Structure 1
Amino acid sequence: MFLAGELTVYLYAVTSVLLFWYFWRTYNERSQLPPGPFPLPLIGNLHQISTKDMVNSLKAVSGKYGPVFTLHLGMRRVVVLWGYDAVKEALLDQGEEFSGRGDLPIYQLVIKDYGPILSNGERWKETRRFTLMTLRNFGMGKRSIEERVHEEAYHLIDALKKTKGLPFDPAIQISNSVSNVICLVIFGKRFEYEDEEFVELLHRIDTTSVISSSIGGQLYTMYTDIMHHLPGSHKTMYKMMTDLEKFVEKRVKINQETFDPDNPRDFIDCFLIKMEKDKGNPSTEYSMKNLVISVLSLFIAGTETVSTTIRHSLLLIKKHPDIEARILAEIDSVIGRDCLPTIVYRSRMPYTDAVIHEVQRFCDIFPFGLPHNVIRDTKFRGFMLPKGTEIYPILSSVLRDPAKFKDPDNFNPGHFLDENGCFKNNDAFMPFSTGKRLCPGEGLARMELFIYITTILQKFKLQFPCDPKDIDIKPRLSGFLNIPVSYELQAIPR
């Protein structure tokens, strides 16, 4: 009994010392950081926020601590930026200091520190520069990227005609078509909708998006070192990402076997040319690993972002018959039923352009944006952020900032129209982020959204099995991505 008592006293003493050390260290670390709720050991502030409704939880914390606050997500300390002013000040006004990429552990299982999206330092700068240049210049003298988008849009129209007006889930056809656009750019070829390997690859991309947005994906981000050694959905994620990586490696090998440096066919060939020119440079960023991961990153991002936004758009447009009627009237008067919708029409179709912008704002596809970090000790709004501090610029708080949008929680194309019905820009329109880490595929994505949405509505009358007021526009899953509900519709030729 005496020994048991001694042991109890000893455990109390050790626990007290550890707790004292934890609170002392946490207090010191937070002394120059923005304010925020005090974290508990291991769980941080998870007891104060909801992983199922993270955006509104962060909004509540911001209401108490202001637009810049510190939060502990499990064992991960981050500084959160809430609202247009804070995000703009960081990513634009102090863009260089905030240009680092924060950790995205569930994707970095395979991508690590490569490619134009998740890398840092000189590798990121060089890879991003090359990616932007290649996407901008690709197809000059041959077929433009816009021509490739038109081609795939019409393949989609043919696929929708084959449904013969019967109810179907459009997710697969839309994903196939949109993915083929980026495939033409990076692989130099398109894949038939019936190609089983291609369909399976798209399934893997969709699965990775679901896992990254799930509670399991969020827990892996918060407790990476622990979760890495435990079973869970992150193991499935790793398998899916590895399969996608192997597919890209296979495509690179095919290009190498038929490579002609004088006639580059796609992104892979352009990268191989740079590898050849730089092969004597020991510090080159043009390596096989960086090539594979760059292509993989473009493949995933170029497939998922646009296809998910189109699925959101069909729900939102059909939810509002008056908005749909105005789009159809504008399409009929400006383009007609038979002419090819091209990007030159966009400036003559302010209402349709406003609706597409409003879809992107309202569906808020990346509610948290991608994490940043500061690349050096940075003074920001009176606080000192140590080098490496992880930054969460909450894009949802920008896209729904009541100071920038008069009716932020409702779908209203008027947010992008002036009093004369002309299209107007809004500085808070940041679905692709902003600053030095602006999405490199923004231009292509905007072109795709305009051409796909106008082409679908030009060619088909879309019908849902339910009354418009009953259409569910709430995301099926809201995490890393806002993923729309699965739904069926009928596509009846106009």
Structure 2
Amino acid sequence: MDSITTAVLLLLCAIISLFLTFSFWDKSQLPPGPRPIPILGNLLQLRSQDLLTALTKLSKEYGPVYTVYLGPRRVVVLSGYQAVKEALVDQGEEFSGRGEYPVFINFTKGNGIAFSNGERWKVLRRFAIQILRNFGMGKRSIEERIQEEGSFLLEQLRKTEGKPFDPVFVVSRSVSNIICSVIFGRRFDYEDERLLTIIRFINDNFKIMSSPWGELYNIFPGLLDWVPGPHWRVFRNFGGMKDLIACSVREHQATLDPENPRDFIDCFLTKMSQENKDPLSHFQMDTLLMTTHNLLFGGTETVGTTLRHAFLILMKYPKVQARVQEEIDNVVGRSRLPSLEDRTSMPYTDAVIHEVQRFADILPMNLPHRVTKDTAFRGFLIPKGTDIITLLNTVHNDPSQFQTPQEFNPEHFLDANQSFKNSPAFMPFSAGRRLCLGESLARMELFIFLTFILQNFTLQPLEAPEDIDLTPISSGLGNVPRPYELRLHPR
């Protein structure tokens, strides 16, 4: 039998097997969904739009819980506040697994805090939360670091002298320095090549992973591994980040004092030394490298991207910007720097920041979850190991939770007395067991950086406010704002 005949027979066997598999799944108790075809799954139904738009559209046809096949991979999609809340919060343990995200898995191999599962994830999360708290997360000490960094940021912004500039690197350097101070034990000068390299790698990867190339890789990783394209740059960037982190780890090893840890890396190295004779220890060198990368990526890109969305929104709605500045003037004044204590006296500013996060919807599809066992959910039975996509965009745009979900409206977070009111459907950091462990740090940064800037400057667009386009340039892993420049007018 020649090789061509063998290949054809193998292909036929694969197609028959997939048909039988899909038929079996159809007879199970999975939620309904569009009928897939072998190999491609439901891509024919998804091909005409970006994945986020297509999945959101299917939820209107099949309801808040449905099954879809991304290539050969079976996924259950949840949409709307109620369904997502029931899964991530009410049945948090069952939905606490991390689903497949090939572009990350290719690099992490399931290691690190963000993409691990089972006992390893639980151990790493407990350890990371404790260490981050020890180094000030949620405390006055980290607030002082953010205020100090805010002062450096203001100094850089004054140097623009009212000229147009792109805020990407200016903002990212300040935001990244906060998590760097916790991980590496120090902030970097804004021209330090290590800091600039970290930001270039992270910004570039976020854009690529939010593009059609990133979506396609996550559906057909085996195929795309053989196809040239920008997705290869993601892995080069990942490798560069790993080398940079490994270099810092070696520097830490040479000067480590276990009795006086300076930062997260020191604490992890000390834990590795304590458990070096335990073959089942989760504290290994590669785990340190992957966890450090996860913290850097999460601590740099999400806050930086949110602030870029905020600037654009405030320029489009100058009356909102003016009202925030009025509140800053009334509560803080011009003679001192804002602090977290001011937030409770600044309900409108707090509402605007929350509304920016809801409206910008930085991670609209969340990171994928996975059920950890056969799970009964809304009359269906979801088999153990099934990946779950929670459409946070449908939570943040749920008309049952927000009066005008398609509009930017700070009133969503204000009551009749203009006091701040939270919403259970506010989930920019996800919810449940996989809630972002840096939530409190991110909230502190957003408030302090934004109030610092608006206390000192008015954001001015280079075009008419009504011409500003708030729709993201791409929506994959994240909603990436369109490139823009702005001017700062000193107040």
TM-score of the two chains, using structure 2 as the length reference: 0.95
Contact 1:400 1:408 in 2 (8 A): yes
Instruction: State the match for 2:154 in structure 1.
Output: 157
Distance of 1:33 and 1:143 partners within structure 2: 48
Deviation (angstroms), 1:12: 12
Q: Which runs of 5+ in 2 are unaligned?
A: none
Distance of 1:14 and 1:146 partners within structure 2: 61
Task: Kindly provide the CA deviation profile for residues 267-313 of structure 1, in whole angstroms up to 9, marking residues without a partner as x.
Answer: 11111221222222221111111111111110111010000000000
Distance of 1:278 and 1:171 partners within structure 2: 41
Distance of 2:333 and 2:22 partners within structure 1: 64
Question: Percent identity, aligned pairs only?
Answer: 51
Distance of 1:178 and 1:46 partners within structure 2: 38
Task: Kindly provide the CA deviation profile for residues 13-72 of structure 1, in whole angstroms up to 9, marking residues without a partner as x.
Answer: 999987665434312112221000001222221221257433332222112211100011
Say whether 1:25 aligns with 2:8. no
SS at match of 1:461: strand
Partner amino acid for 2:173?
N
Instruction: State the match for 2:188 in structure 1.
Output: 191
Deviation (angstroms), 1:229: 2.8
Partner amino acid for 2:435?
L
Partner amino acid for 2:247?
K
Say whether 1:220 aligns with 2:212. no
Instruction: State the match for 1:281 in structure 2.
Output: 278
Task: Kindly provide the CA deviation profile for residues 232-260 of structure 1, in whole angstroms up to 9, marking residues without a partner as x.
Answer: 22221111100001100111111111111
Distance of 1:35 and 1:262 partners within structure 2: 57
Instruction: State the match for 1:471 in structure 2.
Output: 468
SS at match of 1:450: helix
Distance of 1:52 and 1:205 partners within structure 2: 26
Instruction: State the match for 1:267 in structure 2.
Output: 264
Contact 1:39 1:72 in 2 (8 A): yes
Say whether 1:101 aligns with 2:90. no
Correspondence list, 1:165-180, <5 A: 165-180=162-177
Say whether 1:460 aligns with 2:457. yes
Distance of 1:15 and 1:344 partners within structure 2: 65
Query: Cα distance 1:139–1:367, how it changes in 2: closer, same or farther (>3 A)?
Result: closer
Correspondence list, 1:297-336, <5 A: 297-336=294-333
Select between 188-197 and 254-263 the one with higher mean Cα deviation: 188-197
Instruction: State the match for 2:423 in structure 1.
Output: 426
Distance of 1:235 and 1:229 partners within structure 2: 10
SS at match of 1:379: strand
Distance of 1:486 and 1:454 partners within structure 2: 23
Distance of 2:481 and 2:21 partners within structure 1: 42
Deviation (angstroms), 1:367: 0.5
SS at match of 1:323: helix
Distance of 2:171 and 2:197 partners within structure 1: 15
Distance of 2:10 and 2:356 partners within structure 1: 56
SS at match of 2:67: strand
SS at match of 2:108: coil
SS at match of 2:24: helix
Deviation (angstroms), 1:465: 1.1
Contact 1:51 1:215 in 2 (8 A): no
Say whether 1:396 aligns with 2:396. no
Query: Cα distance 1:465–1:28, how it changes in 2: closer, same or farther (>3 A)?
Result: same
Contact 2:99 2:388 in 1 (8 A): yes
Partner amino acid for 2:292?
V
Instruction: State the match for 2:287 in structure 1.
Output: 290
Deviation (angstroms), 1:226: 1.9
SS at match of 1:118: coil
Select between 421-430 and 35-44 the one with higher mean Cα deviation: 35-44
Query: Cα distance 1:342–1:468, how it changes in 2: closer, same or farther (>3 A)?
Result: same
Say whether 1:339 aligns with 2:336. yes
Say whether 1:446 aligns with 2:443. yes
Partner amino acid for 2:164?
P
Instruction: State the match for 1:487 in structure 2.
Output: 484
Distance of 1:267 and 1:13 partners within structure 2: 54
Deviation (angstroms), 1:262: 1.7
Contact 1:76 1:223 in 2 (8 A): no
Select between 305-314 and 458-467 the one with higher mean Cα deviation: 458-467
Contact 2:70 2:219 in 1 (8 A): yes
Partner amino acid for 2:411?
G
SS at match of 1:409: coil
Deviation (angstroms), 1:352: 0.3
Deviation (angstroms), 1:137: 2.1
Contact 1:84 1:401 in 2 (8 A): yes
Distance of 2:184 and 2:86 partners within structure 1: 38
Contact 2:15 2:39 in 1 (8 A): no
Say whether 1:371 aligns with 2:368. yes
Instruction: State the match for 1:4 in structure 2.
Output: none
Distance of 1:125 and 1:51 partners within structure 2: 39
Query: Cα distance 1:369–1:15, how it changes in 2: closer, same or farther (>3 A)?
Result: closer
Deviation (angstroms), 1:320: 0.7
Partner amino acid for 1:150?
Q
Select between 374-383 and 344-353 the one with higher mean Cα deviation: 374-383
Partner amino acid for 2:447?
F
Q: Which runs of 5+ in 1 are unaligned?
A: 1-6
Contact 2:314 2:459 in 1 (8 A): no
TM-score of the two chains, using structure 1 as the length reference: 0.94
